[in-house]
Structure 1
Amino acid sequence: MVKPLFYTRMRLGEFDPPEMNPYTKLGFNDVLTPDHKALALEAAMKSFVLLKNDGILPLKNIGTAGVVGPMANNAYQQFGTYSPHPPQSDVTTPLDALKAVASSVHYAAGCDDNNCKTYNSSEVLKAISGTNIIFVVLGTGAAVEKESHDRAGTELPGHQKTLLLDVLEHIHSHTPVVLLLFTAGPVNISFADRDPDVRAIMQCFLPAQATGQAVRHVLLNDVKGAVPAGRLPYTWPLLASQLPPMVNYSMQGRTYRYFEGEPLYPFGYGLSYTTFEYTASVHTTTVTAGQPLTGSFWVKNTGKYEADEVSQVYIAWRNNTVPAPKLQLVWFKRYSLPTGGADIKVDFEVEARSMALWFDDGWHVTEGSMDIFIGGQQPNQARRSGSEVILGQFQITGSAYLGKY
């Protein structure tokens, strides 16, 4: 990786005198153009993963909203540690968004910072009193997790869990609660997932400058492309005990490929405001080792909203002679589907290297039977999204050596 790294640094002019480097002459007016701001908003909206929704989202009318939590108005912490920091005038927070759409807002951070070692219960309970809906906005940010600053576990920082439990204990007449999370990795929210008063949960990650705008549009679905379609890039465990010790470098039990037990949310999972229907076929039921497998599927948006879908293709080995993943993602694609339309045909290709297994002398594609799964999420999961998964099979004939790397 040294070669592409230094090639990129050379292209950026890092080794040239400043007067010869055109990038040194760029200012905020060059990088904060309307097109760049629109791209920041699009990226933020596309990154959100809807984890739970009983139908409350998208929101229709917001009366008096309670907004509580240390990430509700914490502009600096909604950025990752390797991102630039634009002028404050170009940064929006969840609180900014909710002030713009609710008739009135009662706000309380509840904590001094994201570590939440000091917690003010009374201000939180005051903020949720007399509200029609409550947004609990929790998270980590660089204050809790960043490079060289790992989290010791999966619990919410400090008293953040207490804050959410206080809200759930003191809400009036089952006032709906929407939980917005701003974290890089998974946290323990299994109690919130089970609670019927937590009507929706959305993982927002660290969406940077357009956070508030993105939250507003996704909650309301008031612009094109606002229906959530992000998928989890990792397995979200139910319990920390499901994770192997960090000092164990084996892949056993790690990632969706080797994970044991049932996660809270599986890799590749994410809800939508609409539903999708799949039919599929593989072009060939046999493939020669070392050659790609091609196939097609048809998908239809069967819900009320135009939306993006993220189709995923997985394979599994049925008669392997060496250790193999339980499941392997081999293809995915995100695309938009209108509602009420006809089936849309999508072609896919599984590369030969995706079918290879490691032997002592390198990677081999070996003869045998394979399962293939096509749909909008990982197969064989207890938790279902609005996209089904179809099972098929194909046969690899012959064998091929693909090398050591």
Structure 2
Amino acid sequence: MKKILFIAGIFLSATVMGQVDKTKLPFWNDRLSFEERVNDLVSRLTLDEKVAQMLNHAPAIDRLGIPAYDWWNEVLHGVARTPYKTTVYPQAIAMAATWDTASLYTMAGQSALEGRAIHNKAIAEGKSAERYLGLTYWTPNINIFRDPRWGRGQETYGEDPFLTAMLGKAFVRGLQGEDPRYLKAAACAKHYAIHSGPEPVRHSFDVDVSNYDLWDTYLPAFKELVTKANVAGVMCAYNAFRKKPCCGNDQLMIDILRKQWGFSGYVTSDCGAIDDFVNYHKTHPNNEAAAIDAVANGTDVECGNSVYLTLTDAVKTGKIPESDIDRSVKRLFMIRMRLGMFDPPSKVPYAQIPESVLESPSHKAHALEMARQSIVLLKNEQGTLPLSKSIKKIAVIGPNADNNIAVLGNYNGIPSKIVTALGGIKSKLAPDAEVIYEQAVNFTNDTLFRAAGNLNTSFTYEGKNGFKAEYFPNRELKGTPVTRMEGMPDHYWQEGETIVDRINGNNFSARYSADYLADKTGELQFELEGDDGYRFYINDQLVVDAWERNRWGARLYTLKTRKDSVYKLRLEYWQGGYKANIRLTPGNKVKTDFAALAGRVKDAEAILFIGGISPQLEGEEMPVSYPGFNGGDRTSIMLPAVQTELMKALESTGRPVIFVMMTGSAIATPWESENIPAIVNAWYGGQSAGTAIADVLFGDYNPAGRLPVTFYRSDADLPPFEDYSMEHRTYRYFKGAVLYPFGHGMSYTTFKYSHLTTPVSVKDNTGIPVSVLVTNTGAREGEEVVELYVSYKNQSIHVPQRALKGFQRIALKPGESKTVHFILDGAALAVPGADGQMIRPKGNLVISAGGGQPGVPNKTTSNVVQKTIVIN
């Protein structure tokens, strides 16, 4: 009912706005400058109206014709959480593995077009004030993936500040467009600035790092996006920095962001972060004090709650000047002006983009291309890959082989079609080829819940097969539901996804009803899983009660059955936000016999194990507690032991075993790296992940992805998760041996580097031209990522052991050579001193170019060339 009233309010507002004489309001005059218009607009607002505009769900101001607007929207790897089908590109960490700024620029531009189409459609349908339908996107996530246990690392561009900055800049420029007057969409750099887990304590965590680490690792990407990419927005983080919550931190928000970098855009809090000042950080006595401090330090939008409503009284009692409110509100309306929201659609180049751009052929083609580009060939011995398409029998095993959820990552949209690894592999083989598929294991255990017999026809409602499903637009199962018949309840929806007519995947409830006719006397188990809460009834008796936020914990109920008896089943479910899942599975738990499975596949020509982990296990503040996982983070970077044990059984067949790993973070695979001949890292590859995987496995695409993170050998290599010091972290400061280094990735061809050209010496602050000749020395056409690293030698100050300072992805035919050029400018070669001030060390500088890092094991097929020059 609340949603119906809200929508009715939108139409009422539209009617009122239609009566406003805009010719008498200068802020509607598109001949004036944006600044003049914003100043005029804000001058006409009451204090209450101004404060209300500082919430993410800003209400309409009918008397001025100003429409309502919700600032909250997501476009991490394609437009997310809308009721419409959109193109889903590979997860951000996978896009980082492309090492291709042009590819990210294209992807972001395509996503902005889809976002504009959705916004234009929403305006036409009177829904433009709804969440996830606006044009202010809270992306990209440019936090540094300093520790592989962080569940949200999949949303980032990896562990390196330079790679993150360059990819983030390309994304922002693609999303915001090149029009000199209007933004295509508004990007937002998050989470400012020192934020990377642990998830369970993110609301209360206080981090302190040295000035060196602050400026060397945690700030460079933000600085690049603010000063070079002109990003429209910044999101401040939940955690505190040096005892002050980030959203109220004068050093971060005023001194650095506003004064040093000259940022003039808007800042939004992370959602619920202002409440955290009081409830978790305990740094402020009440909500009013929290709101005052946040606004005084430049946080313009409060996301998630309404703490900012206390600002009205705070101004009236003199605790904060109204000019501080005006400053924030002007920033917000400036963004809306730049998006063209106050101009005639005929004058805004993006206001006519049609719905037909959603999932357009070019967008789907680029999603597939990026998935191919992202795949990293970690290992390939004895020519195991590529496989022959003439294979007559192949085994496809594992928990990610046919997993629709895993390929989509998190913060994702929903495409019309998803291709899993199994689907992609089948499409490569002849129709008469035999494909043996078994899930075999879950991610962390060897016991699957298997259906007992043909249960589909055993569940009916009023003579119809299946369940009666009733969906309610509230959490309380109240009102008139939308009703339909369904099969066994098994749903995994994204927030904002359309569930049924007029009900989206946000704050809804459902009831599923059926009669079960027992086919034997004995037992039938029901496995239930749901988020946020559910109840299960048999014959109107409550047998499982997880209504109070069960949070993903699966429950099992055993029903004693009598043959031909009828049991009345009812499953009730509610969801309060974010992703929604509800599943009821009747059957029995069965432990997989690995030896028997190996026997069934021993005559396959190849065995593909598609495993790894999943966004079902790692992500944002997740209610997950499985072995190796906690709260969205990982407690161990080891591949779950059950998968290793299964691969040992498969390897014992003597048949070639290929391990295809899906993950959003680095996984330690010591046994696999020693014993499995070919390992492919496929990340969470988006809607066309399966096609891309098959293209690589069968040689239709020559892989060239590179790791944007270090793959360590074991948990023992990692410092404490809570320690934000960069000592012994990432390729720049970790001194031990690793499984697969940052920048690693193999090819089906080979490349040779030569003729590295640099000056012999240069003066301080002088740019350094670098060129290198790259030759494809193999028999296949392929792409190569040329990586440029620098390292200072014999320095008395703290410096990284090496640092990436340039990269280019190029394509070469067999025998072809190309000269690749770089310019190392003075700023790129500077390092922070102990006080955080940037200095450029003098002395010997080693410059290395190749297909990977210099001087580390497990290099790519490419050699590395290097020269030492002198900085005077």
Q: How does 1:196-235 map to 2 (within 5 A)?
A: 198-222=676-700, 226-235=701-710
Structure 1 pair 282–82 and aligned structure 2 pair: CA distance change class (3 A): same
Contact 2:609 2:659 in 1 (8 A): yes
2:232 corresponds in structure 1 to 4
Q: Between 317-326 and 349-358, report the one with greater CA deviation.
A: 349-358
| 1:113-192 to 2 correspondences below 5 Å | 113-116=442-445, 118-119=447-448, 120-122=591-593, 124-125=597-598, 127-148=600-621, 149-157=632-640, 159-169=642-652, 171=653, 174-192=654-672
Amino acid at match of 2:410: T
- For residues 67 and 126 of structure 1, the distance between their equivalents in structure 2, rounded to whole angstroms, comes to 14
Please name the residue that 1:279 is paired with: 754
Aligned residues of 1:40 and 1:210 also touching (Cα < 8 A): yes
**In structure 1, C-alpha distance between the alignment counterparts of 2:337 and 2:642, rounded to whole Å:** 44
How do 1:1-400 and structure 2 match up within 5 A? 1=189, 4-5=232-233, 10=335, 27=355, 29-54=356-381, 55-60=383-388, 61-87=390-416, 90-102=417-429, 103-111=433-441, 113-116=442-445, 118-119=447-448, 120-122=591-593, 124-125=597-598, 127-148=600-621, 149-157=632-640, 159-169=642-652, 171=653, 174-195=654-675, 198-222=676-700, 226-341=701-816, 343-359=817-833, 360=835, 362-397=837-872
Alpha-carbon separation, structure 1, partners of 2:339 and 2:613: 33
Q: Is the 8 A contact 2:602 2:655 kept in 1?
A: no
Distance in structure 2 (CA, Å) of the matches to 1:14 and 1:105: 51
Separation of aligned partners in 2, 1:26 and 1:385: 45
* Count of residue pairs the alignment pairs up: 383
SS in 1 for 2:424: helix
Matches of 1:336 and 1:297 in 2, distance apart? 15
- Distance between the aligned counterparts of 2:436 and 2:836, measured in 1? 64
State the match for 2:46 in structure 1.
none
Is the deviation greater in 293-302 or in 98-107? 98-107
- 1:247 Cα shift? 1.7
Distance 1:271 1:361, change over 3 A: closer
Larger radius of gyration: 2
Asked if the contact 1:276/1:299 (under 8 Å) is kept, the reply is yes
Moved more, 276-285 or 7-16: 7-16
Contact 1:118 1:159 in 2 (8 A): no
What are the Cα deviations for residues 324-353 of structure 1, in whole angstroms up to 9, with x where unaligned?
101111111001011023x32111111212
Evaluate the alpha carbon distance shift between residue 51 and residue 328 of structure 1 in structure 2; reply closer, same or farther with a 3 A threshold. same
What displacement does 1:319 show?
2.5
1:250-285 CA distances to partner (integer Å, 9 max, x unpaired)? 110001000121000011010000001111333311
Give, in whole Å, the separation in 2 of the partners of 1:145 and 1:118: 21
Native 8 Å contact 1:41 1:210 kept in 2? yes
Distance in 1, matches of 2:657 and 2:337, equals 47
Q: Does structure 2 retain, via aligned residues, the 8 Å contact 1:12–1:23?
A: no
Residues 368 and 93 of structure 1: is their aligned pair in 2 closer, same or farther, counting only changes over 3 Å?
A: same
Q: 1:379 to 1:361 in 2, by over 3 A?
A: closer
Structure 1 counterpart SS, 2:753: strand
Deviation at 1:83, TM superposition (A): 1.6
Cα displacement string for residues 85-142 of structure 1 (whole angstroms, at most 9, x for unaligned residues): 112xx2111101222223110000013x434462542374365243111000002111
1:70, 1:12 → 2: CA distance? Answer: 48
Unaligned runs of 5+ in 1: 398-405
Q: Distance in 1 between matches of 2:406 and 2:420?
A: 10
Structure number with higher helix proportion: 2
Question: Does the Cα contact within 8 Å between 1:375 and 1:388 map onto a contact in 2?
Answer: yes
Identity of aligned residues (%): 31
Aligned residues of 2:756 and 2:849 also touching (Cα < 8 A):
no
Note if contact 1:121-1:166 (Cα within 8 Å) is conserved in structure 2: no
C-alpha deviations, 1:339-397, integer Å up to 9, x for none? 023x3211111121222121125000132111111111101012232100112011111
Instruction: Provide the C-alpha distance between the structure 1 equivalents of 2:353 and 2:750, rounded to a whole number of angstroms.
Output: 48
- CA distance in structure 1 between the partners assigned to 2:606 and 2:842 by the alignment: 57
Query: C-alpha distance in 2, partners of 1:267/1:206?
Result: 18
How many Å separate the matches in 1 of 2:805 and 2:374? 21
CA contact (8 A) 1:373 1:379 kept: yes
Q: SS at 1:51's partner residue?
A: strand
Cα distance between partner residues in 1 of 2:439 and 2:830: 51
Relative distance call for 1:349 and 1:128 in structure 2 (3 A) is same
**Contact 1:312–1:333 (CA under 8 A) maintained in structure 2:** yes
TM-score, length basis structure 1: 0.88
Greater CA drift, 323-332 or 53-62: 53-62
Give the partner amino acid of 1:371. Answer: V
What amino acid does structure 2 have at the position aligned with 1:44?
Answer: A
Superposition TM-score, scaled by structure 2 size: 0.42
CA distance in 2, matches of 1:5, 1:280: 43
Partner of 2:577: none
Q: How big is the shift at 1:152?
A: 0.8
Deviations 1:311-331 (A, max 9, x none): 111111112121110111111
For the 8 Å contact 1:62–1:101, the answer to whether it is kept is no
Deviation track 1:8-28 (CA, whole Å, cap 9, x = no partner) reads 9947999959x989789864x
Distance apart, 1:163 and its partner CA: 2.2
Q: What is the alpha-carbon distance in structure 2 between the residues aligned to residue 13 and residue 99 of structure 1?
A: 48
Letter in 2 for 1:58: P
Cα distance in 1 between the residues matched to 2:597 and 2:364: 33
Runs of 4+ in 1 over 6 A off after TM superposition: 11-15, 19-25
Q: Matched residues in 1 for 2:718 and 2:337: separation?
A: 40
Report the secondary structure of 2:687's partner residue.
helix
CA distance in 1, matches of 2:787, 2:641: 37
CA contact (8 A) 2:778 2:814 kept: yes
Q: Is the contact made by 1:66 and 1:127 (CA closer than 8 Å) also made in structure 2?
A: no
Residue in 1 that maps onto 2:56 = none
Q: What amino acid is the match of 1:132?
A: E
Q: 1:71: Cα distance to partner?
A: 0.1
The CA deviation at 1:156 is: 2.3
Q: Write the distance in 2 (CA, Å) between the matches of 1:179 and 1:11.
A: 48
Q: Report the RMSD for the aligned CA atoms in angstroms.
A: 2.5
1:208 alignment partner, SS class: coil
Amino acid at match of 2:683: F
Moved more, 290-299 or 157-166: 157-166
Asked whether the equivalents of residues 67 and 107 of structure 1 are also in contact (C-alpha less than 8 Å), the reply is yes
Distance 1:205 1:23 in 2: 35
Secondary structure (helix, strand or coil) at the match of 2:633 reads coil
Distance across 2 between alignment mates of 1:83 and 1:124: 35
